[in-house]
A = this chain, B = another copy of it.
Amino acid sequence: MRAAELDIVIDRVSAVPLYLQVSAQLEEAVGEGLLPPGSKLGNEVTLADHFGLSRPTMRRAIQQLVDKGLVVRKRGVGTQVVRSHVRRELALTSLYDDLQHSGAAPTTRVLQIDTVEAPPEVAAELGLEAGEGVLHLERLRLAGGEPLAVLRNWLPSWTPAPDADTLERAGLYAFLRDSGLSLQVAHQEIGARGATAQEARRLGIRTKAALLTMHRTAFSDDGRPVEVGDHAYHPDRYTFRTTLLGR
C-alpha cells in the first residue's frame, strides 16, 4: 500500500502540530504492517497535496520517520520503509516511564534520600563548588518483582526535593516535570564494569559479575544542569537501544 491510500486524519483545530499528527499516523501504519518493509511512501509533493498540506509540512512529517530510523530517503528514488522490525527508540525519559510503557509493572524501593557534600565529579557536572550540598538519592528499581537496576542520583539544592513516597509512585523525571522543570537534553555515557559486593547483593548477581552502567547529566530548558545519574543495570534484564543516522 502507498501512503496516499492510508486513512490519515488531520485535525487542524488540535494543538498537536500537523507534522506530528501525520508522522504519528504514518508510524502507526508502519507498525501495523500497512506500510510493509521495503514499500515506498510516494513523493512528497503528491502526499502533501493528498493530505492538504504544504510540502514543507509533509516533508517534516516524513523527516520525523527518518530520524526514528523507520524509513530511508534517496534523492531521485524516493522514500522506503526500512526492512527491519521496528525497535523502541532511546528517548529522554526515565527508566520508570520506559518500563511503564512496556507494561512491565515497575516498582521502586527508595534506599536513601539525604543531603550530602557533592563529590568532586558530581559538583563539576552540576556546575557547583566542590563540597556544596546536593540532594542524593539511591533507589532500587524492580520489574515484575525482580531487581532491575540500582539508581543513584544527585540534584543541586535549588531543585525541589522529592520525598520517598513520590519517588516510589511516579519516578524522578515525572516529579521534576510536575515541579515545572522541563528536562530538554541529556548527555549520557554507557559502559560496563564488575559489580561491587553491595550492588551484587541488591541485584541478585555475583560480585564482579558484569554490570551495565549509565552515567547521565540532564539539563533543563534554560541550560542548567538539573540532575546527575549513575545507574547500574542487571545485564540480563536491560539493554539500551539507539538509532544512528549517517550523513
Contact = CB atoms under 8 A, between A and B. Distances in A.
A185 to B, nearest CB: 5
A189 to B, nearest CB: 5
A71 B223 contact: yes
Interface in A185-199: 185-194
Contacts of A1: none
B185 A246 contact: yes
A118 interface: no
A183 interface: yes
A142 interface: no
A115 interface: no
B222 A185 contact: no
A125 B87 CA distance: 12
A181 to B, nearest CB: 11
B241 A187 contact: yes
A25 interface: no
Given A80-B223, A219-B82, A235-B193, A243 B185 contact: yes
B219 A188 contact: no
Contact of A125 (B84, B186, B189, B191): B84
Given A80-B222, A127-B83, A189 B239 contact: yes
A239 B191 contact: yes
B245 A188 contact: no
Nearest to A81: B223
Given A185-B246, A186-B244, A223 B191 contact: no
Interface in A215-247: 217, 219-225, 233, 235-236, 238-247
B246 A184 contact: yes
Interface string A71-115: 111100100111110010011110000000000000000000000
B241 A189 contact: yes
A213 B93 CA distance: 23
Contacts of A210: 192-194, 208-211
A204 interface: no
Contacts of A225: 83-84
B84 A244 contact: no
